[in-house]
Amino acid sequence: MKIGILGCGAMAETFADTLRKMDGAECYAAASRTLERAEKFAREYGFDKAYGSYEELCEDPEVELIYIATPHSCHYENMELCIRHKKPVLCEKSFTLNAGEAERIKALARQEQVFAAEAIWTRYMPSRHMIQEIIDSGIIGDISVLTANLSYPITRKERIMRPELAGGALLDIGVYGLNFALMHFGTDIERIESSVRMTDTGVDGMESITIFFRSGRMAVLTHDIYGRSDRKGIFYGEKGYIIVENINNPQSISVYDTEDRLIKKTEVPDQISGYEYEVLECMEAVRAGEKESTSMPLDDSIEVMRIMDQLRGQWGLVYPQEREQQKQA
């Protein structure tokens, strides 16, 4: 399948490097806002064509699937462009700025009968099902609490610090903690409590989030953009606990009993980078004429955006684009 990449930044580089190592995926076209950057990217990763505008990429009749790797603040307009050109689209997380934008993308994709999905790779990885199978086996009994953390020192990245680019911890790395909790505890939420420390630039720098589920379970999540955390996800049960190494790209799943003895360890299969799973599923869906991903349906993306909207509401965090939208409403 001929794949186009819209946006030629760091994430696009990893994605492109993965594509060229996959069977059935063709590095076909790359687009940037400048032709020079697109041509450099295309040469480095073996793409056939380079475009100096996103419109040109969408107008190429040979493109069969477009991967969007631009800042969060651009996702809505980039997806809208692709969908209106009838191009199936796989857009990086976070899907949009807010739930309203996500709902409009869903409506447009249905209207145009075009495939659209969010590229949050942990939803597509085999580790997701491996973790759930271990939970469902009852090996640690009834589970009461999940904790997960994800932090990286990324304040040097301009897109992280700028409100107009929808920066901050939540949309960039907090989305992984939220998805980890929702994948394994579901979406029947009673209430959410949180605390935050904002940066001088006006985005969320660190946060603690507690989700109370109607089942009686609780998920406690922490994220920040200043330090490096151990990235562990831990499930606490009456007979022991489960540790997932790296919720952002799981490497292994270890089960311990109540005496802290390791009783089972499962290694995650070798992979190219982890991106290949979302690519494979989306290629198969497009070939089959499906309009959504089974691993990350649009309603799930919308639900995650609603939760992040709620959290930002608790913090008083409104992006500049949203203020403009409110003025125009």
pLDDT tens per residue across span 16-56 = 999 999 999 999 999 999 999 999 999 999 999 999 999 99
CATH class of 2-122+275-326: alpha beta
Residue 150 to residue 175: CA distance in whole angstroms: 10
Residue 235 to residue 136: CA distance in whole angstroms: 12
pLDDT at 329: 64
In what order do the strands lie in the sheet containing 2-6?
Answer: 49-51, 26-31, 2-6, 65-68, 89-92, 116-119
Domain range list for the chain: 2-122+275-326, 126-267
Tell me the pTM: 0.96
Amino acid sitting at position 282: C
Which residue in the block uniquely carries the two structure tokens 């799943």? 253
Q: Would the pLDDT of 279 be above 80?
A: yes
- % of the chain at pLDDT higher than 90: 97
Residue 211 to residue 220: CA distance in whole angstroms: 7
Which value, to the nearest 10 degrees, does the dihedral of the CA atoms of residues 31, 322, 182, 111 take? Answer: -60
pLDDT, average across residues 246-250:
98
pLDDT, average across residues 251-268:
98
CA distances from 66 to 6, 26, 30, 195, 281 (A): 7, 12, 9, 37, 14
Is the domain spanning 126-267 CATH 3.30.360.10? The answer is yes
Amino acid sitting at position 312: R
pLDDT tens per residue across span 124-152 = 999 999 999 999 999 999 999 999 999 99
Q: Would the pLDDT of 325 be above 80?
A: no
- % of the chain at pLDDT higher than 70: 100
pLDDT at 45: 97
Which ranges of 115-195 does DSSP label H, i.e. alpha helix? 126-136, 158-161, 169, 175-185
